[in-house]
A and B are shown apart, each in its own frame.
Chain A
Amino acid sequence: MSAPFFKFGAFGDEASLVVAFAIGIGFGFFLERAGFGSARKLTDQFYFKDLSVLKVMFTAIVTAMLGVFYLSWMGLMDLSLVYFGPTWLVPQIAGGLLLGIGFVVGGYCPGTSMVALATGKVDALFFVLGVTAGIFAYGEAWPAIQGFANATNLGELTLPQVFGLRYGLVVFLVVVMALGAFKGAEVLERKMARKEGAV
């Protein structure tokens, strides 16, 4: 097995920046294709009018998850060399809530704001300035909050470990859950569309 290629020394740090740029182009391209350069389309998710955020996110997760699983199982890549961050349970829960609120207030998330900025949205510019200000505030407050921010580090915890299930079984369950969510999303969107039409 010789993947991840970078971890096996296939290329150096400078080349990895070119890789970063190329991957970023793909990332931004598909985000915009999906319509995520539009705050209205993104926030429609939270008003049940357009559940594309759910569809795109979970499709992407399932695709990458299956890819990683099969490549690792077949011995073509070494999963233990892929970066896996620790679980900081309480900070991540708090951060998630703040992010969700920020999503509806601001209309974007950091990645999509870049796409929106690239396609001319002035509000995305203000959003980006806000993110920068928020991180600066966080940095300045760091000495005071680092205790909280570094709390509840559960290490590199996987869902299979949490539920005591085989990795492969969790993969299957995630796929089933995603497919169920997609079906539910279609039903919900149709209902909302009908309601709108009736009004």
Chain B
Amino acid sequence: MRLSLARIAQWSLPRRLALAAFVLGALAIAGDPYGGGAVTLHPHELAAMVQKEVDHVTVEELAGWIIQGRSDYRLIDLRDARAYAAYHIPPAENVPITDLPGDTLARNETIVLYSDGGIHSAQAWFLLKARGYRGVYILRGGLEEWNGRVLHQTSPADSAAPTVQVPSPPAAPMAPATAPKKKKKEGC
């Protein structure tokens, strides 16, 4: 049977749908629904964001969030495990920059990144933004600024037992940052 468009136009609707399904299925072989690890950059959009500094969070703001006991964001410490163990901002999770984007970071979450200064966190910001993450923020000044302005430390070197001016929030509201969402039953 010769497959001309005129011929196909005479087919019943289910038959044409079947053909469409077959074609779509065949084309799908080459595809990847998970984004395949590719990185898409929208240069102008990103540049504008950088200039407007919309994605910065100051250490004072973060301190305020911690005091309020907010659990609607995730604080990510980008340094290696040893530095994290020595000291980290109380609610932070350790995701070394090499592990980004990571299994546990969902694209619809609010994520605040920090490192020692601002360089790694800025680079990680680009990484996540290019992978389609929406709510990504950089802690302005990083740990250095946190130590200087919030902990009232003179140098990050004596961070072995820091005197935290910010009252430690109880662990409960902090730890399960996404727990309220996960509780919702989405099965049947």
Pair from one complex: yes
Q: Does B149 sit within 8 A of A, measured CB to CB?
A: no
Number of interface residues of B (CB under 8 A): 23
B32 part of interface (Cβ distance < 8 Å): yes
Do B24 and A175 touch across chains, with their CB atoms under 8 A apart? Answer: yes
Q: How many A-B residue pairs have CB under 8 A?
A: 77
Interface SS of chain B:
loop
Task: Check A172/B25 contact, CB under 8 A, given A8-B134, A81-B106.
Answer: yes
On whether A80 and B106 interact (CB within 8 A), knowing A70-B24, A182-B18, the answer reads yes
A166 in contact with B29 given A7-B108, A80-B106, A182-B18 (CB within 8 Å): yes
Indicate which residue in A79, A81, A166, A171 contacts B25 across the interface (CB closer than 8 Å): A171
- Interface of chain A residues 21 through 77 with chain B (CB within 8 A): 59, 62-63, 66, 68-70, 72-73, 75
| B residues near A123, Cβ cutoff 8 Å | none
**Is B21 interfacial (CB 8 A cutoff)?**
yes
A176 beta carbon closer than 8 Å to chain B? yes
Give the chain A neighbours of B29 by CB distance below 8 A. 166, 168-169, 171-172
Binds A, one of B33-41, B56-64, B113-121, B166-174: B33-41
Contact count band on A: 20 to 34
CA distance A156 to B34 in the complex (A): 15
Asked if A179 lies at the interface with its beta carbon under 8 angstroms from chain B, I say yes
- Among A157-199, those with CB < 8 Å from B are 166-169, 171-172, 174-176, 178-179, 182
A interface residues (Cβ-Cβ under 8 A, vs B): 1-2, 7-9, 59, 62-63, 66, 68-70, 72-73, 75, 78-81, 83, 85, 166-169, 171-172, 174-176, 178-179, 182
